[in-house]
Chain A
């Protein structure tokens, strides 16, 4: 991720990969501290936010009724898995949005490229979310709610897949949002409807077919359904769920995001 001229420079013969690795290390330490320590209650909110969210949703759904619409899974674990998966993508996207701007001062060091903070932040966010999810699993198990995945490997695979989608979206949004400020507003606006359209809170099974046809264009639905299928043995995914579609979409966003970073690196640094 360094400029080609750098490889010719005799800075102790560090290869571009070595330079990039030390940048990532430095940035990871930096981001980790600011993410967890700078807010007074950083750690608390990281765990409490999804917890509170789940409890509110459970309370609302308690009134509405309709737990029986989900085939092959308990409602609460079903929703926790959905919320965690959705937050993983959403945070990947939102953290990417601010990543370039927040680190612009550091582009004074030519070793640091605009893509570095996005990658590092996404990695860090994923690690934190994974940790929080593990805590939830243990906590739920203690409360007698079965949240351990039935198919561990499949669950992990799809967790990482969702992570990748978050990274891809984060890469695109970080460039677009830095160059065109309005993109940031739109992305924040889309968050809430996306939560519902992705079938995080309400199961999509009972929607009419003509509507489902459109909703299934949203790759997050596919990812979340497949993640749930990994968690609950015998879970019946929404009709039309396709792993191929999800991965095509994810790879496309990753490629597009990286290309945008290559294309606009200079302009991002100059910002």
Chain B
């Protein structure tokens, strides 16, 4: 059972600071897994840090009547110059003599599956390896509530599957408070949801409702930004060409397309230059030249589409 009463939080900086969280009142029942949703900067990670006791609120209080983990995620928790093993030892010792250090090391090593890197300094790890280690470490302790801040975001598929399986195994003994932008994993692991917007938190008994509320906001934001899902013809000023954006093309799709076309262009360009260097007769060279020019045109078109979509998103 975690209770949050009248919580206010802001970060101080040199030019006046606004509240990140404003009057949050929540009570999270025992054994209920909660997904935190909201846009970037809504205060999800801040709330998680406060629940973990890493940070202190300006006003209000948090009562934890259970064992709460640290926020499992990308940021922090490990000393870069020490090896994975030494970090694990440290955390095991901090959590007291109830835990057998050797056993914890073994469990973490088994879960993380990072091989010999376990005895290398953490600063040499990739973000995926860090996430594996951090995740495995938190699972080695018997917490009542696990806090996850995008802990699975950087993992590969095998790790994601392993992580969600590990959490499912813990159902009944432990619950989860997680921040994630992957809705699949939220729906899979959480029952309830908290939706954060403008520093306010809304509790939903069903995580799907929280996700729906979040969608409503993002859809509204997209609407306000000129709704890029409709076919749009944009005037880009007199000196620029018109761009037609095919129906249903989103920015990420357009970016992907651009990358693909860029690759094709690079191939065509290399072939063309090779042909030139080989001193082919003009007739034979023409095919390469045409392919090159064609690829260049397509590349420019794709780039314009991406730019137009980016602009659409930025300014309504």
Scan B47-83; emit 1 where CB is below 8 A from any A CB, else 0.
Answer: 0000011111000011111111011000011111110
CB distance from A146 to the nearest CB of B (A): 42
* Those of B64-115 within 8 Å (CB) of chain A: 64-68, 70-71, 76-82, 86, 89-98
CB distance from B94 to the nearest CB of A (A): 5
* Those of B274-292 within 8 Å (CB) of chain A: none
Residues of B within 8 A of A33 (CB): 82, 86
Q: Which of A75-83, A106-114, A189-197, A211-219 contacts B (4 or more CB under 8 A)?
A: A106-114
Cross-chain contact B94 with A109 (CB below 8 angstroms): yes
Scan B145-161; emit 1 where CB is below 8 A from any A CB, else 0.
Answer: 00000000000000000
* Those of A66-101 within 8 Å (CB) of chain B: none
Residues of A within 8 A of B65 (CB): 8-10
Q: Does A26 contact B (CB under 8 A)?
A: yes
CB distance from A6 to the nearest CB of B (A): 7
Cross-chain contact B66 with A10 (CB below 8 angstroms): yes
Cross-chain contact B63 with A105 (CB below 8 angstroms): no
Cross-chain contact B93 with A107 (CB below 8 angstroms): no
Q: Which of A14-22, A126-134, A167-175, A176-184 contacts B (4 or more CB under 8 A)?
A: A14-22
Residues of A within 8 A of B81 (CB): 34, 38
Q: Which of A8, A22, A38 contacts B97 (CB 8 A)?
A: A22
CB distance from A12 to the nearest CB of B (A): 6
Cross-chain contact A6 with B53 (CB below 8 angstroms): yes
Q: Does A266 contact B (CB under 8 A)?
A: yes
CB distance from A213 to the nearest CB of B (A): 43
Q: Does A270 contact B (CB under 8 A)?
A: yes
Main secondary structure of the interface of B (DSSP, over half): loop
Chain A: interface residue total (CB-CB under 8 A): 35
Cα(A18)–Cα(B70), bound, Å: 19
Cross-chain contact A5 with B67 (CB below 8 angstroms): no
Knowing A38-B81, A105-B79, A109-B77, the reply to whether A26 touches B98 (Cβ < 8 A) is no
Q: Does A29 contact B (CB under 8 A)?
A: yes
Residue of B whose beta carbon sits closest to that of A112: B94
Cross-chain contact A108 with B54 (CB below 8 angstroms): yes
Scan A31-45; emit 1 where CB is below 8 A from any B CB, else 0.
Answer: 001100010000000
Cα(A108)–Cα(B90), bound, Å: 12
Knowing A30-B90, A34-B82, A109-B70, the reply to whether A3 touches B98 (Cβ < 8 A) is no
Knowing A5-B53, A9-B68, A10-B67, the reply to whether A106 touches B90 (Cβ < 8 A) is yes
CB distance from B15 to the nearest CB of A (A): 17
Residue of A whose beta carbon sits closest to that of B144: A10
Q: Would you list 9 pairs from A and B whose C-beta atoms are within 8 A, ordered by A residue?
A: A5-B61, A19-B96, A22-B96, A23-B94, A26-B89, A26-B92, A33-B86, A110-B53, A110-B54
Which residues of chain B have a CB within 8 Å of any CB of chain A? 11, 52-56, 61-68, 70-71, 76-82, 86, 89-98
Other 19 A-B pairs with CB < 8 A, given A5-B64, A109-B77: A3-B56, A10-B66, A19-B96, A22-B94, A22-B96, A25-B93, A30-B79, A30-B86, A34-B81, A34-B82, A103-B79, A105-B76, A106-B77, A108-B70, A108-B71, A109-B94, A110-B53, A112-B94, A266-B55
